[in-house]
Structure 1
Amino acid sequence: MSTAKIRTFKSGICGLLLTVVATSFAHAAPTKKPNTSPMVSYECSADSSWFTSPSLPSEVKQSNGPGDSSFCDFYQFSWQTFAYLMAKSTTQPAVLNFQDSSQFSVLEVNTDGSPANSCDDKPNAHMLFIRSAKPQENGTTFTIPERIGQAGGGATIYDQNKNVVYYDVRFSKNMCQVDKIKQQDNFPGGTTELKTAWKVMGANDNPNDFITMEANITPVKPDEVNPNKTLLGLVGFHLAVATPDHPEFVWATFEHQVNAPDCTLPQTTTGWSFASESCTASLKAGKTDCDFNNPTAQTKITGEPTEICRVHPYGSAKGDLKYDDNVGSITSLNDNVQPFLTGQFAVLKNYFNVGALWVSDIKKGSSIDNQRGSLRLANTVAETEYQDVDLSSPFISNCFGCHNYAGTDSGTSNTTSNNLSHIFDDIAVGNQCVDVPAVNIINSQAQAKSTCPSTCTDSSPDKKWNGQWTNQDARTGAQLPKTVCGCCTK
């Protein structure tokens, strides 16, 4: 494949913001998987209870003895978590658990890109986005809202129908307890971050083959009703979950099976969402002039299709530490969940676990020698440009490259360092004091004491009045139509 142009890294900036409206889901059958298998046979079993009685696991099992979890344990943890998130919510049956606002909040960003209040349970800012910039490595300045867009560089990807891919971010409700978490060195067990990638469903896409949702993908005014909803299909799903034994988070990613072919051995030449038949055919022939994995920065919702192929199936390359254990556990479990994917879970036959990443010794940091699992982990539609993970590079572009974990013996706080969770920083900023309009004009402190406390709690049960109010715009000095009360997180 010496003539192939397969690029996997870049940088730049692109951003456009849109608004989610509604959700739905559907069912189907499997199609394609990456072409990697272990050198020896592995058996990583699935548990029927993950699907008959979905629940979030609180900890990774320790099958090898106290303090010693197997690779299979981590992938069972990942699949059980994924199954729960994809189950119908018992409190909001119209959506799945990961879409249930009582369990997971949506990260919101203001029009100017600054963090909005994502903890007030009022979705009044932008929630669905085209990708935006992310720095090449940890420690550099982040561009809000980089957590929403595709990780890696600064480009935009388009499917074969020339439609852009959209992203959103959700997080467990406990992350709104900003002050409480900041007092701890590590995030509490159960802390969860989710990032999803969505494509516009085309004429040849069967909605039954995708987790789907309806969304407004054109900007609308806050009070405007836009009837032009578009059906989107889930193509990528990141999950990161902290546990008491693994405060570094277990980082796992899932994809739709028709996203992209393998770069070196395409499973088939047709039917890919992000690779054309002609380019995939040339890959299969061992040569191509197609420019794979090299999207460019764009700001439009339609554009030339992006050619994408998978560089490292299951985020692993032969020779990586415990390669057989890792790939064997992933592929075995991906196969062993299949008999349980019926009824509401039938659609999951179209998705597979790409891999996961964690550390061996939580006392130590996330240097490459302490990492385990899919060391070259990347999602084709979430880290298109950063798939060619070089384990000898000063910056290793897997999850821990940008989400650096400081070991428990380091004396460094993982909650306040701006390293491990970038989402938490946005939540903290957006969840600080905000000005909330009162129902009427306030002309005295006594009137403020009577009106502002309820104004704040009505806006969010987590808000309380800070004693401040004003009738003037702080920036321009102009008279406001309504008095605003200063409301801060309790």
Structure 2
Amino acid sequence: MPPLPSRHAVRRFTQSLLVVAMGGTALHCKDDPVEPAPVDPQTLCSGTFSDGTSINVANPQPLSDVPMPEQSFCDFHTFAWNQFLYLTQTVQDPNDPVTPSKPRFLSYAPWYNMLQPDGSPRPGAFPGGITTLQVSHLDQKQAGSGQDELVDVAGNTVLYDLRFNPTMYDFITGSTYYTQAGYDAFCQPTDPSQPFTLCGNTAQIWMPWGTSTVMGSMELKSAWRQFPGNDCPSTQMYCAGSNLGLVALHIAQKTPTHGEWVWASFEHVANTPDCAAGSSSPIAPLSPLGTPWAFFNPSTAPASVMETKTCGVVPGNAQCNLDPKVGTGFQQVNICRTDALPAGGASAANCAVVDSSTSDPNANSGGNVSCLNATLRPQLAGIWGNYQLVGTLWTKGTQPPDQDFWIDIFQSPKQGVPEKTAVGFPNLANTALETYLQIGSTAYDPNGSGLSNANKAGCFGCHNPVAQDTATDLSHFPSKFDDLTEPRVPAKQ
């Protein structure tokens, strides 16, 4: 496969358009606005970092941090794509007797290898046992949305997996935090009977953040569509066996300069259309692959939705993202994306690297992601070209990896603690992992008025020191202790 072209190798007509679009001068973007200086107008967000290094699509290498010293907004989205390519690279996994050849992220430790019932011996060396994706250990409930389920157009429930990289696994299992009793001994919960109870111990567990050559702690959450007829379309998506298809992947990585973790989310392009017309994936009878949508059924959508390519999500005009609950079960409802990417692919406007400013505080992040998707996806062999980045989230500037902070959207000021601003995609939500927590999708709001998704959606809505009420460095891993003892409803086979 040919190497990724540098920004300076972009087609001549695109370069000319960019100069016009930027008034003759293209600007670098930085987390903190500075006096802009003239730079090469050919500088585009298309796979090259601001330090001059580029993504190697054919042989992706892991990154322990967003390249310094600039760390432009474009750099974070490029970092997200680089990590996705590395994590989906095929490896041979000796800990999987069923599927030894598989994407790297599935060779990481599943949560049930790391966390153990009280009284259990310390887990073994990473990954702590068999890594095979096991339906019996997958969640049917979405995190953070009132324990709702997502049902696809065929009536099957989406399942969820959670894994940890060696750095985080070794830290948890090397301490006492791998059992509920061991974690509680540190936390000293004020009410052990309640989930996410405030810790009586004011100390903080800081997950390892790595070094310049070693990746810091990483959590990987994946969403899997079920195919009970063993007909997972392996030419269209990654299939684990013949009955599970990957529809979404969250990547959360703690780095030396971003202790708030860098959050990136990817989806299969045939998951859902966008709620409004004019964006990158408009409502249509079929997905961009020419296949049915996974979570949107045109035959059940009102005729006006298909005609206008707009699906209402707010009270009084709600046609998509409705309450999935029916009695004690769940039903399929049409899903659309509210925080959509702009149309145009690798257009001059989308690819332009610009400064963060009052008028554009997120520095053309949507456009840059559209540009990266359009540039990188065609270079990927096989099914991985059918996945796209839907957003990246971090906080403005840098954040020490062992220091508390508060997020201005979600929290009240904390004395002596610095305020941080969420940037990139502040309202980031994955339609398969956080279906009912999308910004502006208020006809059904599982959080209610307390943390309404009318204007407070995004990763930091749940992953912040106050919302999680634990001392676990924005990780919710202690919530999985309950799953060690709770009976599970078998998924469809």
Cα distance in structure 2, aligned partners of 1:274 and 1:114 = 39
Shift of 1:155: 1.6
Distance 1:157 1:113, change over 3 A: farther
Aligned mate of 1:55, from 43, 55, 61: 61
Q: In the TM superposition, what whole-angstrom CA distance separates every residue of 1:385-421 from its partner, at most 9, and x where no partner exists?
A: 110259xx87323101111159xxxxxxx99614600
* Structure 1 residue 232 corresponds to structure 2 residue 244: yes
Q: In the TM superposition, what whole-angstrom CA distance separates every residue of 1:16-52 from its partner, at most 9, and x where no partner exists?
A: xxxxxxxxxxxxxxxxxxxxxx997982122675332
Residue equivalent to 2:227: 201
Cα distance in structure 1, aligned partners of 2:261 and 2:119 = 23
Distance 1:79 1:298, change over 3 A: farther
* Structure 1 residue 380 corresponds to structure 2 residue 387: no
The 5 Å alignment of 1:202-217 reads: 206-214=233-241
Cα distance in structure 1, aligned partners of 2:89 and 2:439 = 33
8 Å Cα contact 2:275/2:283 also seen in 1: no
Q: In the TM superposition, what whole-angstrom CA distance separates every residue of 1:438-485 from its partner, at most 9, and x where no partner exists?
A: xxxxxxxxxxxxxxxxxxxxxxxxxxxxxxxxxxxxxxxxxxxxxxxx
Distance 1:197 1:292, change over 3 A: same
Aligned mate of 2:297, from 272, 276, 284: 276
Q: In the TM superposition, what whole-angstrom CA distance separates every residue of 1:276-318 from its partner, at most 9, and x where no partner exists?
A: 1131753233476774212434799x964221011111499xx
Unaligned runs of 5+ in 2: 1-17, 27-42, 49-53, 95-99, 178-185, 187-203, 211-215, 287-291, 312-316, 344-357, 410-419, 442-448, 485-493
8 Å Cα contact 2:151/2:331 also seen in 1: yes
Residue equivalent to 1:367: 408
Aligned mate of 1:325, from 356, 364, 373: 364
Cα distance in structure 1, aligned partners of 2:122 and 2:272 = 33
8 Å Cα contact 2:74/2:368 also seen in 1: yes
Give the SS at the match of 1:208.
Answer: coil
Distance 1:209 1:253, change over 3 A: same
Distance 1:320 1:402, change over 3 A: farther
Cα distance in structure 1, aligned partners of 2:44 and 2:274 = 24
> Residue 45 of structure 1 aligns to which amino acid in structure 2?
S
CA RMSD of superposed structures (Å): 4.2
* Structure 1 residue 399 corresponds to structure 2 residue 459: yes
Distance 1:194 1:292, change over 3 A: same
Residue equivalent to 2:80: 78
Distance 1:205 1:106, change over 3 A: closer
> Residue 61 of structure 2 aligns to which amino acid in structure 1?
S
Residue equivalent to 2:217: 191
Give the SS at the match of 1:333.
Answer: helix
Cα distance in structure 2, aligned partners of 1:115 and 1:359 = 39
Shift of 1:76: 1.1
Cα distance in structure 2, aligned partners of 1:387 and 1:80 = 25
8 Å Cα contact 1:185/1:415 also seen in 2: no
Give the SS at the match of 1:108.
Answer: helix
> Residue 236 of structure 1 aligns to which amino acid in structure 2?
A
Give the SS at the match of 2:71.
Answer: coil
> Residue 159 of structure 2 aligns to which amino acid in structure 1?
Y
Cα distance in structure 2, aligned partners of 1:115 and 1:320 = 56
* Structure 1 residue 244 corresponds to structure 2 residue 256: yes
Unaligned runs of 5+ in 1: 1-37, 132-148, 215-229, 407-413, 431-490
* Structure 1 residue 161 corresponds to structure 2 residue 161: no
8 Å Cα contact 2:207/2:217 also seen in 1: no
8 Å Cα contact 1:43/1:333 also seen in 2: no
**TM-score using structure 2 length:** 0.59
Aligned mate of 1:305, from 311, 329, 332: 332
Cα distance in structure 2, aligned partners of 1:191 and 1:358 = 15
> Residue 264 of structure 2 aligns to which amino acid in structure 1?
A
> Residue 101 of structure 2 aligns to which amino acid in structure 1?
A
Distance 1:386 1:55, change over 3 A: same
Runs of 4+ with >6 A deviation: 38-42, 112-118, 202-205, 287-290, 427-430
8 Å Cα contact 2:428/2:459 also seen in 1: yes
The 5 Å alignment of 1:168-187 reads: 168-176=161-169, 177-178=171-172, 185-187=206-208
Residue equivalent to 2:106: 99
> Residue 406 of structure 2 aligns to which amino acid in structure 1?
G
Question: Would you say how many aligned residue pairs link Structure 1 and Structure 2?
Answer: 340
Q: Which one is further off, 248-257 or 168-177? A: 168-177
Distance 1:109 1:186, change over 3 A: closer
Cα distance in structure 2, aligned partners of 1:108 and 1:196 = 15
Cα distance in structure 1, aligned partners of 2:130 and 2:121 = 9
As a proportion of its length, which structure holds more strand? 1
Q: Which one is further off, 280-289 or 230-239? A: 280-289
8 Å Cα contact 2:90/2:104 also seen in 1: yes
Cα distance in structure 1, aligned partners of 2:119 and 2:388 = 32
Cα distance in structure 2, aligned partners of 1:175 and 1:429 = 20
Cα distance in structure 1, aligned partners of 2:74 and 2:374 = 13
> Residue 462 of structure 2 aligns to which amino acid in structure 1?
C
Q: In the TM superposition, what whole-angstrom CA distance separates every residue of 1:236-270 from its partner, at most 9, and x where no partner exists?
A: 11110111111111001000111111111234223
* Structure 1 residue 423 corresponds to structure 2 residue 459: no
> Residue 422 of structure 1 aligns to which amino acid in structure 2?
H
Cα distance in structure 2, aligned partners of 1:315 and 1:387 = 17
% identical equivalent positions: 29
Structure with greater contact order relative to length (CA < 8 Å, sep ≥ 6): 1
